Chain A
Amino acid sequence: MPASLIVFFLFVAATLGITVWAARHSHGASAYFAAGRQITAWQNGFAIAGDFMSGAAFLGIVGLISLQGFDGFLYSVGGIIAYVTVLLLIAEPLRNAGKYTMGDVLAYRFRQRPVRALAALSTLTIITGYMIAHMVSAGALVNLLLAGSGISYNTAVTGFGVLMMIYVVFGGMLATTWVQIVKAALLSSCMVVIVVLVLVHFDFNLGKFFLRPVV
């Protein structure tokens, strides 16, 4: 069995372990939707960062920069714009509302049915586009990293979909938060290692690094 496959299954086993642990500790709506409101700001920050360090960020932005250079880099700046916008215009007014979802907050002030229907519709519309891109990148990643493992593209896409659903349905917010924290920590440390390796390749000379793709 190749090393990459072992690492992959270890990660799946660890995240499923977190889900089982979370399912045992979650009882009631507050526990399921808000992890019993026990997640600290730092933990939540890492979890949200983990959300952003997804297939789109790691494969997409790296690919864009390698193909388009600075234009690709411009795209990655958009990520932080989204954070500040969400912080000031959405998170700040909702922070002390004591609700679970944005739909809950809107429904509190307006007529319930149309607001909830629209909130659900917009969520599903965004998620459809977002999920398809991520399922495709998950399948492509398996093809690339676990080549020769016998896992086909279709199996990978279906398998990832089922795994995500298990995390959320059984573990609720507690499991998804911890899975994202583990992911953020793993990806951040991998990224530091890759940056150091790339710099070693260019003798720690940024000038050399910037000139390389042009030459």
Chain B
Amino acid sequence: MNPAEESNSSRPLKEVEWTRIAKSTQFQHLLAVKRSFIIPVFIFFLAYYLLLPVLVGYAPQLMSIRVVGTVTVAYLFALSQFVVGWTIAWLYLRASSRFDKLVKDLLEHEGHIRGER
């Protein structure tokens, strides 16, 4: 059930081949694309979340301003966390199909090289 085992080749990858693929520009590009999405998104999300307890703790006057009727800034900010969470999930869905395409290209490329031997 390992994807490596499921690929079109019947023999398992050798250690040398793993190292070669890991060093290839295609694989390094895939890693760079993943990193450039995951790291900034996660840092933004962590900062956005931590801002909530920090502001509630240190700026209670700002947080208790009433925006609509009895609904305060704090409630709206806390609810916005859910919206941001869903948005990130949606962004990730889009990004992951990009990752999958790069993986597919890489596997096809490798299958081509190994098929020639």
Contacts and interface: CB of A to CB of B under 8 A. Distances in A.
Contact of A80 (B34, B82, B96): B82
Contact of B85 (A74, A83, A92, A206): A83
A80 B45 CA distance: 11
Contacts, number: 68
Identify the interface centre among A81, A99, A211: most chain B CB within 10 Å of its CB.
A81
B53 A74 contact: yes
Interface residues of A, number: 24
Contact of B4 (A85, A98, A210, A211): A98
B86 to A, nearest CB: 8
Interface in B1-55: 1-6, 34, 38, 41-42, 45, 49, 52-53
B69 interface: yes
Interface string B83-116: 0010011001000100000010000000000000
A192 interface: no
**How many of chain B's residues touch chain A, expressed as a range?**
20 to 34
Given A77-B52, A96-B103, A70 B75 contact: yes
Contact of B69 (A37, A77, A85, A207): A207
B42 A89 contact: yes
Main secondary structure of the interface of A (DSSP, over half): helix
A96 B4 CA distance: 10
Interface in A71-91: 73-74, 77, 80-81, 83-85, 87-89
Contacts of A73: 75, 78
B52 to A, nearest CB: 7
Contacts of B53: 74
A74 B92 contact: no
A92 B4 contact: no
A24 B2 CA distance: 25
B3 to A, nearest CB: 5
23 contacts: A34-B1, A70-B56, A70-B74, A73-B78, A74-B53, A80-B81, A84-B45, A84-B89, A87-B89, A88-B41, A88-B92, A89-B38, A92-B96, A95-B96, A96-B3, A96-B103, A98-B1, A98-B3, A98-B4, A98-B5, A206-B70, A206-B71, A207-B69
Interface of B: 1-6, 34, 38, 41-42, 45, 49, 52-53, 56, 69-71, 74-75, 78, 81-82, 85, 88-89, 92, 96, 103
